[in-house]
Amino acid sequence: MKYELNGISTPFGGVSWNKTNSVKDKFSFLLFYLESKRILVNPIEMEKKEWCIESVLEIKKQLVSITEDTAFRKDDLSIIRNMIKACNQYLDAVSPLDLPNIIYKNHTQEGSWNDLQFDKAMKQFRNSFRQEIKSIEKRYRLSFHKNIPNEF
């Protein structure tokens, strides 16, 4: 966190400042936020399509909002744009599907969902986020404390 001087008053003196967040602070918050999203870190036996879509929409909204009031470098914005792109691709792939309320795991094909389009969308989404999170961790020496499963 940085402090930005925004005023000096006289004759008796006084200084005022604003707290500002650095890019590292913003990415630290983002990683913590993403750790809470079950669509990324919860490998269970079934999912509700509506919850997945809602979660991705929330992530997308958060990705846009963290760019407010902070000057991101071009390569940092690229990470955020790639995550937004992954959200849009997931929503494009899953939204038109006429799926039942609950989507179960396919026990004959280990690590796959019953609906192959949903399975592909989920894997692409998680792979994209895993890659971008690794970039954030490396660049800013931050840690994502959850595991994004490969198999689901």
Residues 116 and 122: beta-carbon distance below 8 Å = no
**φ/ψ of residue 24, rounded to 5:** -60, -40
Summarised one tens digit per residue, pLDDT across range 30-62 is 999 999 998 898 866 667 778 888 999 999 999
Q: Is-above-0.85 flag for pTM?
A: no
Taking the C-alpha atoms of residue 90 and residue 2, their distance in angstroms, rounded to an integer, is: 36
Residues 72 and 23: beta-carbon distance below 8 Å = yes
Q: pLDDT tens digits for the chain (152 residues)?
A: 455 544 555 565 555 555 667 899 999 999 999 999 988 988 666 677 788 889 999 999 999 999 998 889 999 999 999 999 999 999 988 876 565 555 555 555 555 545 577 778 888 999 999 999 999 999 999 999 999 987 66
Short-list 66, 68, 82, 71, CA closest to 135: 82
Token readout for 99 is 């799926």
The pLDDT value recorded for residue 135 is 97
List Cα–Cα distances, 126 to 38, 70, 90, 132, 136, in angstroms: 11, 27, 10, 10, 15
Summarised one tens digit per residue, pLDDT across range 60-73 is 999 999 999 888 99
